[in-house]
Amino acid sequence: MGQVQSRLTISPTPTKLAWMMHLRMLTTMHGLCEVRQCSKRWKNLCPQTKNLQKCQMSSAGSSEMLQVTVDDKSGIATMTMCRPPVNSLNLEFLTQINIALEKLENSKDCSGLIITSKIPKIFCAGLDIMEMYQPNVDRLQEFWRTLQEMYIRLYGSQLITAAAINGASPAGGCLMAMSCDYRVMAPGYKIGLNETQLGIVAPFWFQDLIINTMGFRQSEMALQLGTLFTSEEALNLGMVDKIVPQEQVMETAIQEIHKWKKIPGFARQITKSALRKPSIDKLHSKREEDIANFRDFITKDSIQKTLGMYIESLKKKAK
Ligand SMILES: CCCCCC/C=C\CC(=O)SCCNC(=O)CCNC(=O)[C@H](O)C(C)(C)COP(=O)(O)OP(=O)(O)OC[C@H]1O[C@@H](n2cnc3c(N)ncnc32)[C@H](O)[C@@H]1OP(=O)(O)O
């Protein structure tokens, strides 16, 4: 990428649910969207945001889970996930993604966003299964709300969004990629909504998203079978838009955003919103019901048993 002027690093936060609630309250109260009124550089954020970021930093470990850079010249932001081992989405990681999405959405200097991964061969392994196994119910509900939030923000973004899929992208990783406007993928990886293979059920908004992306019939089969597609199969189905060698994935995503930027922004945004709003509105109207369904489903003994077995199989495979 060309000249990177600004860099925002969001570090891990503590795990306490109370802190997550507090963070969410601060986000709402202070409106991280206020970046627009501040200086161009992320480090010169408005006072409230700065405070929040300091809080996060000071309570953080040393690893960096999410790096966000904005190219000053093009206005293209890159959000790079780095949560070893597999970028699985837990409550803290999702919260950081949402905060970054809100900041970017409201920055007048940002017109496009690329989501990618720093972890070799992995884009995102989907939801952190440990969030769903033997959960604390309050945290479980907050986790699901935060995932809903990510989808609402990303699918409904006014920015031109692209997923640079440089590795495996099952389940929640596929959701994240499909929420973008464009997907470019490296060959040799798998992507799809494999929930049924884990004995769990992709909720209606996952289903709507895949149907919106590749049509009803192929989605129906993919969802029931929980198919993980190769990059090439995903291209044929329209789940991804282009396959390029690994080292060209980022550059291709950048070029694609440049292409989209030539379209009058207002017209593009209204069109995007008209196409995606019904799905987003549907989730808004059923949000609490969806959280309750998720909680009731996940906490069933039979589902806990299935998840436990799946975790064991992953661990065995990893050895
Ligand atoms: C109404 C109910 C609604 C429920 C709807 C739920 C919606 C979405 C569901 C999800 O997103 S569930 C998550 C689905 N994801 C998967 O099934 C992916 C599982 N992982 C893999 O297939 C592989 O790990 C990989 C991503 C292809 C990477 O393979 P690789 O060989 O590179 O790495 P591994 O050795 O398999 O794994 C390393 C390490 O990571 C742990 N791990 C892997 N995936 C997850 C995960 N999703 N969450 C938490 N942890 C994960 C794995 O156990 C290994 O751990 P260690 O053994 O090293 O401790």
Q: Which CATH number fits domain 4-247+267-318: 3.90.226.10, 3.40.50.720, 3.40.50.300, 1.10.760.10?
A: 3.90.226.10
* Contacts of residue 141, Cβ cutoff 8 Å, sequence gap at least 6: 291, 294, 295
Q: Are 191 and 173 in contact (CB under 8 A)?
A: yes
The answer to ipTM > 0.90 is: yes
Distance CA 115, CA 315 (A): 28
Our answer on whether the CB atom of 132 is closer than 6 Å to any ligand 1 atom is: no
Q: Give the whole-angstrom CA distance, residue 308 versus residue 141.
A: 19
Give the pLDDT confidence score for residue 59 in this predicted structure. 25
Tokens of 133: 């196994």
Residue 181's alpha-carbon distances to 62, 187, 204, 297, in angstroms, are 33, 20, 20, 31
Length of the chain: 319
Domain ranges across the chain? 4-247+267-318
Q: For ligand 1, is residue 168 a contact (CB within 6 Å)?
A: yes
Going by CA atoms, what residue is nearest to atom 39 of ligand 1?
A: 85
| Residue 293, token pair as written in the block | 């369904």
Cα 149 to Cα 37, 98, 153, 222, 247, distances in angstroms: 24, 7, 6, 25, 31
**Which residue's CA is the nearest one to ligand 1's atom 1?**
294
Alpha carbon distance 179, 188 (integer Å): 22
Cα(129) to centroid(ligand 1), Å: 7
Cβ(282)–Cβ(224) below 8 Å: no
Residue 85 Cβ contacting ligand 1 at under 6 Å: yes
Q: State which amino acid sits at residue 215.
A: G
Query: Which ligand 1 atom is nearest residue 127's CA?
Result: 11
Whole-number Å distance, alpha carbon 247 to ligand 1 midpoint, is: 25
Q: Is the CB of 126 under 6 A from ligand 1?
A: yes
Q: Which atom of ligand 1 is nearest to the CA of 303?
A: 2
pLDDT at 204: 98
pLDDT at site 317: 85
Block mean pLDDT (10 aa), the chain, length 319: 50 45 43 27 29 28 75 96 98 97 96 98 98 98 98 98 98 98 98 95 98 98 98 98 98 98 97 98 98 98 96 90
- Which of 90, 93, 123, 129 to mutate to test ligand 1, by most ligand atoms within 8 A of the CB atom? 129
Its pTM stands at 0.86
Q: Distance from the CA of 169 to the center of ligand 1, in angstroms?
A: 10
What residue owns the CA closest to ligand 1's atom 5? 202
CA angle in degrees (0–180, nearest 5) for 268-113-274: 30
Ligand 1 binding pocket includes 318 (Cβ within 6 Å): yes
